[in-house]
Structure 1
Amino acid sequence: MSLRLKRLFLLFAVAAVVIIGLWWWSMGKETTDDAFIERDVVYLRPRVTGPLVNVAVGDNQQVKAGEVLARIDPQPFEVALENARARVANAKAALDSARGSRDAFVADLEARKEQAKAAVSVAQAQVVQQQRTLDAQDARIDQARRDVKRYEALAKRKQVSQQTLENTRTQLSTLESDRSATQAAVAVAESQVQSARASEKTVDADDKRRPVLQASVDQAEASLAQAQADLHQAQLNLDWTAITAPVDGWVSEIQSKTGSMVGPQSTLVILVSGNPWIKANYKETQIGGMTIGDRVSVEVDAYPDLELSGHVASFQPGTGARFALLPPENATGNFVKVVQRVPLRIELDDVPEQVQLWPGMSVVPTVHLDSHSQPE
């Protein structure tokens, strides 16, 4: 064999060994360079509108949850809060007045009811008493009339004196006069009964005003509840003039400066928080052998000599294109099949403190298939 053929044979042998080695190394692994670092990104917007009077932090600054990042001019909201407090005080006074009027009316009405009932009872008792007196007087008058007739007969026979007859007649006249007075008293008592019953009807008519007064109380209570809700909203608006960090994190960017007019429609601060994780967009042909928990080795473009470890945490239930702003519509026209990509969430197991991993940084993850049950 010539030297040239030996060299050619050796070259092919080396190439075959390299190809077989690469094939063996890649078995049981899936790699992609379409992967990036992610963290929780919070876009803070003010809840109220006003000019910024203070920006307490700067770009790239680390902050703690509850720390004040910026303040909106609080003066208009302080005035609104005082007005709301005044409306609550007025509503409370109006409610107290409505309740006082209702309670006084009810107390007076109940007293008048009792008085009217007592007046009717008294008047009826007087009628009964006068009627009994009248009946007794009728009996005495009947007796007196019989006495007058008897004495007249005796006087004709000269058996009694004329004076005795006159006395009997005078007594009858007196009894008849007393009866007339008693009859008048009965009429008066009956009129008093009618008057007392008329008073009862007046009280019953006034009793119909009770729901009206209660409605006034209900309206005052509703006004107070509305005023208290307005007060609570005014207090919230004042509290919201202080824009605070909702979580621990880093200020990525301050998009407004002191003096700027801001409001709910504008982003004020972009805050990065949470632990880093990886969003890896694998081809759909690569994920068939992957399972949650598979071990992942990660190369970071910013740290060529560093390899991080992690694991597959979850699969997005759909391709990236399906949840895009304008998802593809393949029902019409000519269809060209394109391999889709499925986003995976890869959690990092341990990240050195000095390593900076920020959203958008490029990484190359390698998933070791069927490794979720193997010890790390």
Structure 2
Amino acid sequence: MGNKKKIALILLVIGLMVFVYFAYNYLVFIKEYATSDAVFIRSDKITNVSFKRVGGKIIKMYKKEGDIVKKGEVIAEIDPIDYKIKYDQVAKKIESLNKKREQLNIQIIKVKDELDLKKNIGEKKITYLDDEIKSLKYSIAELNQNIKQLKRDYKRFKSLYEAKAVSKRKFEDIETNLLALQKKKKSLLSKLEGLKKQKSVAEDELKMVYVEYKNVDELKKSLESLDSEIAATKKQLQDLENLIEYCKLKAPFDGKIGKKFVEEGAIINSGFPVYSVVDTDSLYVEVLLEETKLKGVKPGCEAEFSVDSYPDITFKGEVKEIYPASAATYALVPRDISAGEFTKVAQRIPVRVSIDEGDKSILKVGMGGEIKIKRAN
């Protein structure tokens, strides 16, 4: 055998040994690790932020793509002038309504006080007249008794006078007293009639006072209506205050600006996206792992990965969750396999992996990479 053949044989043996070595190590590796190049950086909190309920010209953009933001930080503003003008108009309306309310309240108090005074005077006057009428009726009743007695005396003395049993003077004295009492009774009856008329007038006046109280009730209803209008206008003012505040776009959480959709000076409507904000603290790895590689992959399994942008930097984490459906399940246009004609393709199952070690500041949502997951025994 020539030297060349020996050398070729030796090289072949060495090549076979190297192939066997690498093949064995590869088999050991794939048995111990599940690998995938369908790796993507994701975030639990990524959102497009827009102006709520307000629109207009953007007068200030405070952030650019990649800038760090803090929750509640103002990142953009639109011109609030229209809302401020409306605010001032509504504020003046409230001021005017409050003045009107104050005047109406003063009017109610004044009218009520006057009516209370009239009512008090009227009731006292009726009570006084009732007492006077009662007293007068008592006097007339007493006078009637006296007149009745004098009439009996008058008849008796008249008989005696005609029989010349009493003097003319005594008889005339009885007659004079009787006429005087009758005259007094007439006067008292006239006074009684006058008091009754006064009482009737006082009662009518008191009824009018009670009628006028209804005007106070109407004024109170007007006041209640005015209070309702003031309350509604205050809500309108509060809403405008909110709208003015909404002219300042604030970051919803700590993170970074992922994308800027508009430029300063643009005119936008409410709800139009201005920035996309990414929460860099909630980054994780989404792995689309072939179903044939799922064996031994469980929550808690250690993982190492790198991203294509920084292939020399290694990140570590662990499997947190294996999703219950394949990625194809949620495709917008799912495969039609009802006819039974299809090409069998290994489905990919989404696996969530945490990022526990490594410089997360260099990671961006959407980056791709490669991963190896240590299988559980």
Q: Same fold (TM over 0.5)?
A: yes
Matches within 5 A, 1:87-98: 87-98=93-104
Change (3 A) 1:88 1:335: farther
Paired letter, 1:169: E
Question: How far 1:176 moved relative to its partner?
Answer: 0.9
Query: Which residue of the partner structure matches residue 188 of structure 1?
Result: 194
| Structure-1 separation of matches of 2:248 and 2:20 | 68
State percent identity of aligned pairs. 21
Paired letter, 1:37: I
Query: Which residue of the partner structure matches residue 53 of structure 1?
Result: 59
| Structure-2 separation of matches of 1:155 and 1:61 | 137
Greater share of residues in helix = 2
The partner residue of 1:123 within 123, 126, 129 is 129
Query: Which residue of the partner structure matches residue 26 of structure 1?
Result: 30
Query: Which residue of the partner structure matches residue 39 of structure 2?
Result: 35
| Structure-1 separation of matches of 2:190 and 2:335 | 107
Question: How far 1:141 moved relative to its partner?
Answer: 1.0
Question: How far 1:80 moved relative to its partner?
Answer: 1.9
Paired letter, 2:286: K
Paired letter, 1:293: G
Change (3 A) 1:331 1:14: closer
Tell me, what secondary structure is at the counterpart of 2:234? helix
Tell me, what secondary structure is at the counterpart of 2:280? strand
| Structure-2 separation of matches of 1:31 and 1:102 | 86
Change (3 A) 1:223 1:19: same
| Structure-2 separation of matches of 1:208 and 1:189 | 29
Asked whether the 8 Å contact 2:256–2:280 carries over to 1, the reply is no
Query: Which residue of the partner structure matches residue 374 of structure 1?
Result: none
Change (3 A) 1:128 1:68: same
Asked whether the 8 Å contact 1:65–1:244 carries over to 2, the reply is yes
Question: How far 1:22 moved relative to its partner?
Answer: 1.2
Asked whether the 8 Å contact 2:129–2:195 carries over to 1, the reply is yes
Once the two structures are overlaid, the 10-residue window that deviates more, 30-39 or 154-163, is 154-163
Question: How far 1:198 moved relative to its partner?
Answer: 3.6
**Per-residue CA shift, 1:205-264, capped at 9, x if unaligned?**
444556544432332222122111111122222222222333333333333223211222
Tell me, what secondary structure is at the counterpart of 2:354? strand
| Structure-2 separation of matches of 1:350 and 1:90 | 65
| Structure-1 separation of matches of 2:326 and 2:208 | 82
Asked whether the 8 Å contact 1:51–1:260 carries over to 2, the reply is yes
1:160 aligns with 2:166: yes
Matches within 5 A, 1:298-309: 298-309=305-316
1:271 aligns with 2:277: yes
TM-score (norm 2): 0.84
Once the two structures are overlaid, the 10-residue window that deviates more, 307-316 or 196-205, is 196-205
Once the two structures are overlaid, the 10-residue window that deviates more, 153-162 or 228-237, is 153-162
| Structure-2 separation of matches of 1:155 and 1:237 | 113
The partner residue of 2:252 within 236, 246, 267 is 246
The partner residue of 1:344 within 343, 351, 358 is 351
For structure 2, list consecutive stretches of 5 or more residues without a partner in the other structure.
Answer: none
Asked whether the 8 Å contact 1:95–1:224 carries over to 2, the reply is no
Tell me, what secondary structure is at the counterpart of 1:366? strand
| Structure-2 separation of matches of 1:214 and 1:279 | 68
Tell me, what secondary structure is at the counterpart of 1:32? strand
Paired letter, 2:290: K
Change (3 A) 1:96 1:307: same
| Structure-1 separation of matches of 2:162 and 2:30 | 164
Asked whether the 8 Å contact 1:43–1:267 carries over to 2, the reply is yes
Paired letter, 1:41: I
1:86 aligns with 2:99: no
Query: Which residue of the partner structure matches residue 297 of structure 1?
Result: 304
Question: How far 1:308 moved relative to its partner?
Answer: 0.9
Question: How far 1:346 moved relative to its partner?
Answer: 1.6
1:225 aligns with 2:198: no
Question: How far 1:348 moved relative to its partner?
Answer: 0.6
Query: Which residue of the partner structure matches residue 68 of structure 1?
Result: 74
Paired letter, 1:158: K
Change (3 A) 1:239 1:158: same
| Structure-1 separation of matches of 2:105 and 2:222 | 8
RMSD over equivalenced CA pairs, Å: 3.2
Question: How far 1:306 moved relative to its partner?
Answer: 1.9
**Per-residue CA shift, 1:95-127, capped at 9, x if unaligned?**
334444444444444444434433332222222
For structure 1, list consecutive stretches of 5 or more residues without a partner in the other structure.
Answer: 372-376
Asked whether the 8 Å contact 2:90–2:233 carries over to 1, the reply is yes
Change (3 A) 1:204 1:35: same
Once the two structures are overlaid, the 10-residue window that deviates more, 42-51 or 265-274, is 265-274
Question: How far 1:36 moved relative to its partner?
Answer: 0.8
Tell me, what secondary structure is at the counterpart of 2:91? helix
